[in-house]
Structure 1
Amino acid sequence: MKLNLKRFSTGGRFVARIVLCLSAIAFVWQGAFFSNSNAMAAPGASLIATADAGDRVKEKVSEDAGRAKNFIQDTKDKVERTAKTNASKVEDATDGNGGFFERKAKRDAARIEKRAEEDAARTEKAVDNTKNAVKSTVDKIKDGFSD
């Protein structure tokens, strides 16, 4: 009995097309049933921006930026701690004789710590830039509604 691979691959492509088409139909069909028609039913709703809302947004952005910075610092500390632990494990495995692998592990740990510091500083700067951009956008929106 000889296996015809061409027929097998053609059948596989056919089955893949059927599965793709059926999943596309299912996603389109599901989207029609779960659309939120209530949100579209209020054409008369208007946007009212107040100074209080803008201040709340700016306060929330500052809080979130603080949490993000804490997360960045925690991650940096964990990376540094892991690098030191790994270097210590290599030192223990080599009996602390100062061989090639021990020196390489220490250099790698120092490099990882340095990169963690640089990456954390760069990420914190990006968080600050984003926070400032959001605050200035809120101020511009408030100014636009106050005119």
Structure 2
Amino acid sequence: MCSKGNSVKYVPYVSSHDPDHDHKNMTLKRPMSPHVTHYAPTLPAMTSIAQRATGAIITTYALGLAWGSLFLSNGAETYVSIIQSLNLGTFTIFLLKIGLGAPFCFHYFNALRYIAWNAGKFLDIKSVYDTSYKSMMVAGVFSLLFALL
């Protein structure tokens, strides 16, 4: 129940004249907070960044293929024969296959780690590093196998 003697009084808003965080710290001569580059990179952070980068690479591949199928009118066989006419060496073709396939392999096997994390598995720091190394090794092995075949 409300008492009948209370009333609401509307007062116009007056902003505070306090300086923002950065100006206050400069006035007090406080040092700036260390930037990310101040700290050594950790493996979990690097695999997270690599996961995002490989996702962007795979998206670029997909958009390139879609663009090519829309705007390149001669069909895939023509472009395959153009690449074959370059007479690239076996080692160069192997390196190109690795370069094209490694982002797929890393992205796939690293994503399996994230799926396991979402299920609540392998979240202690030892397992995080262990699964990181294992996913990179498996991705490397599969990249090599795909490039050899």
Same fold? TM cut 0.5: no
TM-score relative to the length of structure 2? 0.29
Which is richer in helix?
A: 1
